[in-house]
Amino acid sequence: MKIRPSLSGVTPLMCVYALCFLLAGSPVHAGPGGIIVAVEKTWLGRVVTIILIIVLSPIIILDAIQRRRAIKRTMSALNTLSQCLPQYRWLDFTDQVTNAFSWVWSAWSHQKMEEVSAFTTDWYWQNQQLLLDDWKARGVTNICSLNKIGQIKPLLVQHNPQNQGDGSRIVVQIDATVVDYLVDESGKLMKGSKTPSELRTVWTFLYQGDAWKLNRIDESATVWDYLKLQNETTLTASSQQSSI
């Protein structure tokens, strides 16, 4: 039986993830974007999670294969665009992503998102500052730090052939090791752990003013939402001629 994840449907693997989270414990809302960074796992949650992984391993393997193929298609689309447009060169782009990721985590930990305004759209950093201000008003502080950036994988590219490419998007999956937890006014630990944990998030970059700028951060569960969308690589005649 062939299982196809879709935007409108729910795959068995999604059910596995949801059940694991429910049984493992309460989620922690923290980190840039207010994303769920870690789960406080109970003993029962760990046992059930291991059983589910063993029983449903064929589905998990199939999902991994389909995901790898979809990412490969997006990388191919980026390579096609990069032949005419230098902003799509993958190594150069990942340098920008790594820089933005580090700066965003630093600005978030300082609770001063204006520090990262050069790497994000105006809408994004102002929106995130409102979230931080709301937490502060409620006496909640997010303590976080970035230990290491892992793999960066392309999920979607949508090139806008008009206006020198302004409005184009690249969506990437980023793996990292972070420390992330919430404390109250007295400094008492509310949620999370002071131990480094693995984090996977989905970042959307918007091409704006000849630069890629962060415009959105989503949870890892949205990966397939982007992979099932169509890559867009249509070029204008002038772009094609400039590469000759």
pLDDT digits (tens, 9 = 90+) for 36-62: 454 555 566 667 767 777 777 777 787
For residue 102, the 8-state DSSP code is: H
- The whole-number pLDDT of residue 237 equals 54
Pairwise CA distance, residues 155 & 202, whole Å: 9
Indicate the residue type of 225.
D
Q: Tokens for 98, please give them.
A: 């790594």
pTM across the whole model: 0.79
pLDDT digits (tens, 9 = 90+) for 108-146: 999 999 999 999 999 999 999 999 999 889 998 888 899
Query: Pick from 169, 192, 190, 168: which is nearest to 180 by CA?
Result: 192
The reply to whether CATH 3.60.20.10 applies to domain 12-242 is no
For residue 33, the 8-state DSSP code is: G
Q: In 184-195, which positions are buried (b, 16+ CB within 10 angstroms) versus exposed (e)? A: eeeeeeebbbee
The domain ranges of the chain are 12-242
Q: Can you tell me the mean pLDDT for 3-13?
A: 44
Map residue 212 onto helix, strand or coil: strand
